[in-house]
Each structure stands twice: as structure tokens, then as C-alpha cells.
Structure 1
Amino acid sequence: MIRHVLFITFTDSALPEQILAVRSAFLQIPDRFEGVTSVEWGINDSPEEKNAGFTHCVLMAFADEAARQRYLPHSAHEDLKAIFRPILQDIIVLDYTLTP
């Protein structure tokens, strides 16, 4: 299993309904794409103040490497990017493979 972690900052001009649309699109990915086993969405609420300005996080789980490779060019991913990129200020993407 592969975890796909995104740390996100939205533009100052991003409207709450635009962010909600991005959230909804992320959460629908497992229904639109076989191989994504789960998606979680969260807003930073850490009292440690170590988030480096990132306000949101997405955690996706891919069943395997083949699923990740199929997802990258998939229409579900492209549809998400179409609504996500216009309000995205910055992002960190980190993937890691779970080892038994």
C-alpha cells in the first residue's frame, strides 16, 4: 500500500465554497477510481505552530504501485486538478510505501 500525502495552502482569494468543492472532489476519488482505497481531508489544528504555513492536508491510500501509476493520468485526477490549481498557493506532496 502507498500513502500519498499532500500539505496544502490555498490562495488568500480562495472562497470557502471553492475549498469545499476541492474537498468534495478529493473525497469522491475512491468512488471514481479503483485502486484508491481511502481519502482523508483535514485542516491544521496543531497547537505546535510547526505547519510552515500549510493549512490543509489530504491523505490518500493507493492499493499498490500500479494503482498510483494509473491514477496520475486518469480523468478523475485531471478533473480534480482543474478545480484545485486555480486556488492553490503552495503544496508539498510526499508518497511512501508501507512495508509489512
Structure 2
Amino acid sequence: MRDFAGLADLIEGIVGFEHGANISPEGLDKGYTHAVTITFASQAFRDAYLDHVAHLAFVARLKPWLDEVLVFDYGI
């Protein structure tokens, strides 16, 4: 997670980064064990992040270790 959090130092527009393991007792996690939330200054910064070389390199390193990923965006 340090590498993921470090993206905030490399990519402009990341204003928040949180992560953690699932601790819900409800059993509704569908097998997901961890969550990451990244807050961007704007949708434009989010869009730039998606194609940023540092993000793409991180995804390439992490992808072999993941069974599945769930991504969704919402406005705040």
C-alpha cells in the first residue's frame, strides 16, 4: 500500500488516500478483503490519473496478485 499511497506524491490532483482491510461482520463483502479510496481535486485530475505513467506502472505490478478489482467513481 505504500507504493499506492506514494502515487499522491507523483500525480497532481490527489488530495486524499485511504485504505484498509474489511472488518464488517455482515458477510456482504463478496470476497473483497481490502478497499482503497482516492480523492481527486476534480474529475479532470481523476481522468489524468487514469493514464498517468506512474499509475499504469503500479497497476502492471499489482495486477498479477489480484483475482478481481472493483472500481467505481462518485462525486462529492
Query: Residue 43 of structure 1 is aligned with which of 10, 14, 21?
Result: 21
Q: Match of 1:54, SS?
A: coil
Question: 2: distance between equivalents of 1:53 and 1:85?
Answer: 17
Highest RCO, 1 vs 2 (Cα 8 Å, sep ≥ 6): 1
Deviation at 1:32, TM superposition (A): 0.9
The TM-score, its normalising length taken from structure 1, stands at: 0.72
Amino acid at match of 1:63: A
Q: Which runs of 4+ in 1 moved over 6 A?
A: none
Taking only aligned residues, the RMSD between alpha carbons, in angstroms, comes to 0.9
The structure in which a higher percent of residues are strand is 1
**Pairing of 1:20-99 with structure 2 (within 5 A):** 23-98=1-76
Q: TM-score, normalised by structure 2?
A: 0.93
Runs of at least 5 residues in structure 1 that lack an aligned partner in the other structure: 1-22
Aligned length: 76
Say if 1:29 and 1:39, in contact at 8 Å, map to a contact too: no
Task: Specify every segment of 5 or more residues in structure 2 that has no aligned partner in the other structure, as ranges.
Answer: none
In the alignment, the residues of structure 1 paired with residue 47 and residue 31 of structure 2 have an alpha-carbon distance, to the nearest angstrom, of 30
% same residue = 38
